Chain A
Amino acid sequence: DMQMTQSPSSLSASVGDRVTITCRASQNIDTYLAWYQQKPGKAPNVLIYDASTLESGVPSRFSGSGSGTEFTLTIGSLQPDDFGTYYCQQYNTYSPTFGQGTKLEIK
């Protein structure tokens, strides 16, 4: 089974900071990777798909990179509204899998 491992599991950062979250796949998934943001009590919202394509309407401070087994989500300049939990998801197989999540707190 495909495993997705995110790091760190949580982080705290200040407004204006550059934040990077990493996602590793247990097998090659090419660029079949999406990133989501989830706020408490809400459904996830897609930020990035195909590893590096910004979803329409998502602020340009969000960016994604990587291919194969190693991926990163970067927030260029952290804003107060960026708190929440971030998940990566692979869609290279019929059984999509999510990373365990990275909880981002604003200092």
Chain B
Amino acid sequence: EVQLVESGGGLVQPGGSLRLSCAASGFTFSAYWMTWVRQAPGKGLEWVANINPSGSEKYYADSVKGRFTISRDNAKSSLYLQMNSLSGEDTAVFYCARAKLPAAKYNWFDPWGQGILVTVSS
């Protein structure tokens, strides 16, 4: 079964840091572009960052550029999101998601993880 499971969320103070992880199973992780998408409480979906299969190509939304870093470890079938300088505007459920087709840079997302809540508050 293809599965993505996020971890590492929780409560963090403004200005703090947090590292999210996404464990993948059931498919050849190293063959796919991977993405982080977030959803603030009661709001819509916002793309955060994506990374190519080898980890050499990365893109970020303007809202997180310079603060967040996406990375991956293909040997561990894991995706990461290092988040620094967090503010209340970063409070959201964070989803990891896979491109539907292998090696496809421009693609829709399927599957998605169950999501992990990050709360930035003092």
Does any Cβ of B come within 8 Å of A3's Cβ? no
- Closest chain A CB from B113 CB (angstroms): 7
The answer to whether the Cβ of B59 comes within 8 Å of any Cβ in the partner chain is: yes
B105 to chain A: which residues have CB within 8 Å? Answer: 94
**Shortest CB distance B93–A (Å):** 9
Q: Mark A7-35, 1 if CB is under 8 A from B, else 0.
A: 00000000000000000000000001010
Question: How many residues belonging to B are interface residues under a CB distance threshold of 8 Å?
Answer: 23
Q: How many residues of A contact B (CB 8 A)?
A: 25
Nearest CB on A from B43, distance (A): 8
Tell whether A98 is near chain B: CB-to-CB under 8 Å: yes
CA distance in complex: A101, B110 (Å) = 18
Q: Which residues between 70 and 99 of chain A lie within 8 Å of chain B, taking CB atoms? A: 87, 89, 91-99
List residues of chain B with CB under 8 Å of any chain A CB: 35, 44-47, 50, 59, 61-62, 95, 97, 100, 105-115
Which residues in A have some Cβ–Cβ distance to B below 8 Å? 1, 32, 34, 36, 38, 42-46, 49, 55, 87, 89, 91-101
